[in-house]
Each structure stands twice: as structure tokens, then as C-alpha cells.
Amino acid sequence: MFEIKAKDNMGRVGVLKTKHGDVKTPALMPVIHPRKQEIDVGKYGADIVITNAYLIYKDEDLKKEAIEKGLHELIHFDGPIMTDSGSFQLSVYGDVEITNKEVIEFQELIKTDIGTSLDIPTAPFVDREKAESDLEITLERAREAVAYKKEQNMEMLLNSVVQGSTFLDLRRECARELSKLDADLYPIGAVVPLMESYHYKDLVDVVMNSMAELSDTVPRHLMGAGHPMIFALCVAMGCDLFDSAAYILYAEDDRLLSTRGTYKLENLQEMPCSCEVCTKYTPDDLRAMPKEKRRELIAQHNLHVSFAELRLIRQAIYDGNLMELVEERCRAHPALLEAVRHLGNYSKDLEKYDPRSKKSAFFYTGPESLCRSEVIRHVEKLRQMPKKRDLVILPPSRKPYSKFVSGKLGEFYVYGAQKELDLEDTDFMVLDIPFGLIPLEIDEVYPLSQNDAPKTRDVDAIEFAEDFISEFVEYYDQVLIHKRVVNDLELGLYEKSDFSDEIRYHKDDVKKVKAIADYQFGVGAGDALFSGNINIEKSKKTGKIRHIYDGKVLIVNMRASDSYLILSKEGAKRLHNRMPYPQNRVVVNKDSEPFALDGKSVFCKFVVTCDENIRAKDEVLIVNEEDKLLAYGKALLGACEIEQFQTGQAIKTRKGLKK
């Protein structure tokens, strides 16, 4: 029913399959009023819409027509339709004249594609007793709806809504209990008041705590979120679907949506975008029109802006620069900026879903970038890497740094016990923003060379580098810090070294590939892979390492775009023999074993378990439950998703080991 096509952080491009067609996510579902709708939203880009089943149920004429003709003909939309159960009316009026079973049965009767149980929307910041009471009813009704759907063998997909107000433990409890059910989608409800009051920081808490317990195998829908200003942030947190009547409600009030906020027509001197409406009409033209015509045109603009933003977000996911877009969009309002900074507290949750290598370079856009997955991951990897006795810290230069470091390296200041420098027992690293320190041996690995930051550093970046260096030097007996680094960071308590002018860096390709292997596969991988008569072949055009052999036997290839190592048959065997179980492994069941040996792709439903550190695009070993090596290939999903999905490919197998 749902398949992931591309990912970046928790954001994903997916396909939701329904009986009235497939929907590419993330997607916006414009709200269609069953009686008042006058705009053909499909004409302006809507692949799926949402309407209110309870309003239809309460109107005898609409009810009769919906039962006779079906929902799609009633609202004149051929694509997938989701229906709300009346929960909105329940939150506004306190009661509805329909039971949970009745509304489920009615949604199936009128042939909705995605129905919703009658949850209890609990407003933010209510007292805990009410939140717990409402949550109990919501869970009871969700269980009843799922059981009733199975009992009646219904075709429609079913929403089960996450509630719990702003009590984060209740949100997690609700999401955890709902994930035990066999529902098809999980909306996150009762968040509109947070968005209307600009409590975006609280929205981050609600969404991230809900996501922590929801299954990755189904779409997640943020109910009532319809302003394009927040789409990027919410997609980065894992939201796949949005719904809103904002496009028409704002138009009724002569307000135009944009990714930077909302414009009042009365204040406009210029039209805000390049859509058909904005290029054809001026603000004066719109102000002079009859209300009905003006409302329709502004609604068209609002839909255009919303769908354009979602297209941009999907492309950002494909390219791997979603967080740059998030950081850009969240500068549109101080409350959004606070929200994206608060999202940094969930960096480890985001990292679990983030591929290690991407198409786009890493661009530092501000202090928020210091909390991105790439930075968190590098810092953790660097802490795990084997350390030598001494450390030399160099200032940044052109990238890749190792290519442009040569000769005498200049004046240094010393930290720790002063000893004669042993170049064979010294790590050479470069100060870098935003990655702290980058060892020269691994500096070509993505994103350590594929990144850029302003030359004028902000205070947060300087403090980050200072703190990182202060912590990292404690691993070494002696640390020599280049004079430029000390001056740039205003580091104190260092004495000038007497032998600094003699320091030179000597490139060693074998050490380089071993360090990359340790960084990519884990400490010990370098020695595991590169023993024997190591022969390194480089590109004649670029000088980059291309192939690494033991004699004439290929061990690995090095990918030119990101310098990650691609295993050969021999490399896979060596890695498997030396690296402990379950490191770098995907374990498949007996049914899948012969297909893996034949080099066929591994599907999620055949995976028993896998290394929790696997991320999408990682090189992995495919083994059986006795840890026999069957094949090797590239992960298409991260460990979290591989273990949860029961459909779709998990690993694109490169080669099976069938004799």
C-alpha cells in the first residue's frame, strides 16, 4: 500500500496506493466541502482530496446522492478521497449524532478510499485528566474500527488518529497502541491550535514524539496543516500527508499564501509569485473584481503555491538537501526558527533515517546546520576511530585538504607533554566548520570535502569548534595546533613549539584506504580488507583512487563521487571473516537464502534482523541465520525501515556467492 522511493532525514518521497489511483507523497489534500465547493482542485494539481463524511451523513439530500452515486461523483473528483469522521465537529460543538461504527459503515457505503474512526480531538494545554480520558475513548474507537473493518471485509483504507494533547508521554502511548493495530494510515490530530498560535516548537515535540512510536511502513498525516510555510519542516519530521481548507478560507479573507507567510491583498503593491494568477493580474485588478471572482483567483494562487512547495520538497529529498530547505524556510518567522532549532534536540532520531551519501553537497546555512545528521554522525565516528600518540591540527585550505597540504606546515603551539614528534604515530587533522576536525586520510569521503561554509564564522560555529577541540585533545599525549587555528579560535594556554617548522605531512595511500574502511565499516575493517600485496590503481585523469587489489585480486572499488568503498566478492569475504556479527550484516531467512545466493535482490519480508547502524545506500553483507555469507549489495532503506516493512526491496544485491 505504501512504498518509499527516496529519503532524506525522516522525509521521504513515497507512493500511497489506493483503489482510485496512486498518490505521490508528500502530498496536500485540499478540503472539499460536499455542498459549497466551486473550485476544481484537481485542475490545479491535487492528486487526492479530503471531505467530511459527517456533513454528508447529516444532510439527507447529500446522503441519498452519495449512497446512490458514490462519493466521487458527489464531489466531482475522480482520484483518491479521504473522509473525516466528524471529529472536527465534535471538537467544535462537543457532540455529534453518529456512532463510531455508523460512521465507519457509512464511509464504506459511499465508497471512500480512506476512512477515519471517530476519535476525540483533545486541544493543546488541557488538564491531564481530560487528555487521558479522551485518549482512552480514542483508542477504544480505533480498536473497534479496525475490528469492524476486518469483520465486514471492507475495501477502504482506515485512519487511526494519534491524540494526547501536548502531553508527550500520552502522544507516545497513543502512537504505540495504534501501531499494534492493523490500520493503514496514522494521522496526528488536534495540532491546528498549535499552528494558529505559532506554537511551532510545541508542534515539533508533538510530531517527533508521535513519530517515535509509529510504524515507518505507513503514511503519516498531519491533520489541518495547510500553510506552505511549514511543509518543509513537517516533511523533515516524517509527515507524508497534509490537509487544509486554508487555500479557500484565506481567499475568502483576501489573503494570499506564500512560503514566507501570508499577504493581505489590501497591502499588496506587487503580486508575490509567478503563477498564472500573479502574472496575469495586478493587485489593483484583483481589488476591483467582484468578491466571488477574486476569491476564486486567490484560491488558485494559494493552491499553486502549496503544490509548488511540495514539488520543491520532493526534489530536495531526491537531491539530499531537505534540511537546507528547512533551515531556509524556517527563517520566515521567529517561531519557525525556534522550532527548527528545537528540532536539533531530536538529531539522533533524524540520523537513524538519513543516508550517509547524497547527491548534493552539504551547505552550512547557520547554527542550525551544526545539528544536522551529517555533523552528528561524523563527530560520533571520529570519537570511535583509532587514535595515535600525537595530533597535529591544521587550518583549512582548499578541498580536498589532503591534496593541498605539502611542505613545511608553519608555526604551531603545543598542548600536553612536549616530545619529539613521531610522524608514524601522529594523526593529521584539519579544523573544519561544521565538522570540527577532519582527518586528512578520510577528507574525500562524503560530505567532508563536499561541503561549504561562509568564511566569516558565526559565534555558534566558533564555540562548536572550540568545544570539540578542547574535548578531542584529551585523547592524545601531545597536540600541535597551527598558529592560524589558535588565532582564529582565540584558544589560550598553549606554548610555542621549538620544532614546529620541521613538521611535514606525508601522504600514504594504504593508510588512507584503511582509514576510510574504518570510517565506513567500523574500526578494524581497514586491516580486515587491506592485507597482502596491496596494489592501488588511480584514475589517469583525476588522480583519484579507483580500484584496490591484493596482487591481481580486486578487493574494493572507490566511488568517485563520494570516495566510499564498494565491495567486490573478495572484499565481502574479508569483511565478513574479520568483522564481528552482526556488524554490516543483513540476516535473511531460509526462504530467501537460495535467491540471495543467485544474486537476487532481498525483500524486506525475508529479513530476520540487521545491524542497527545500517543506513540507506550502505554497503552490506547478506548472511543467513548461521552467519554464512550469501551475497553482498547496497541497502535501499535504513535498519529501522528494513525491519518494519513487509513489502518492497531492502537490499539491491550486487552479487551472490553461489559456487
pLDDT level of residue 92 (50, 70, 90 thresholds): low
Peptide bond before residue 396 is cis, with ω within 30 degrees of 0: no
Cell reading at 649: 526491496
pLDDT digits (tens, 9 = 90+) for 117-166: 999 999 999 999 999 999 999 999 999 999 999 999 999 999 999 999 99
Is residue 172 within 8 Å of residue 212, measured between CB atoms? yes
Determine the Cα–Cα distance for residues 38 and 59; give it in Å rounded to an integer: 18
| Domains observed in the chain | 2-248+332-350 (3.20.20.105), 373-502 (no CATH), 508-577 (3.10.450.90), 580-659 (2.30.130.10)
pLDDT of residue 495 exceeding 80: no
Is residue 258 within 8 Å of residue 228, measured between CB atoms? yes
Q: What's the confidence (pLDDT) of residue 182?
A: 83
Q: Longest C-alpha distance within the chain, in Å?
A: 93
Cell reading at 102: 455508523
pLDDT of residue 535 exceeding 80: yes
pLDDT of residue 231 exceeding 80: yes
> Mean pLDDT throughout 335-352?
97
Is residue 442 within 8 Å of residue 448, measured between CB atoms? yes
Determine the Cα–Cα distance for residues 378 and 354; give it in Å rounded to an integer: 13
pLDDT level of residue 492 (50, 70, 90 thresholds): low
Report pTM: 0.94
Q: Label the pairing between strands 629-635 and 649-656.
A: antiparallel
Strand order in the sheet with 157-159: 157-159, 114-116, 81-84, 49-52, 27-32, 241-244, 220-222, 186-188
Q: Which long-range contacts (CB under 8 A, 24 or more apart) does 651-654 make?
A: 651/586, 651/601, 651/602, 651/620, 651/622, 652/601, 653/596, 653/599, 653/600, 653/601, 653/602, 653/622, 654/566, 654/567, 654/599
pLDDT level of residue 528 (50, 70, 90 thresholds): very high
Computed on alpha carbons and rounded to an integer, the radius of gyration of the chain in Å comes to 28
Q: What's the confidence (pLDDT) of residue 37?
A: 79
| Residue 460 annotated in active site | no
Q: Which of 8, 84, 119, 354 is catalytic?
A: 84
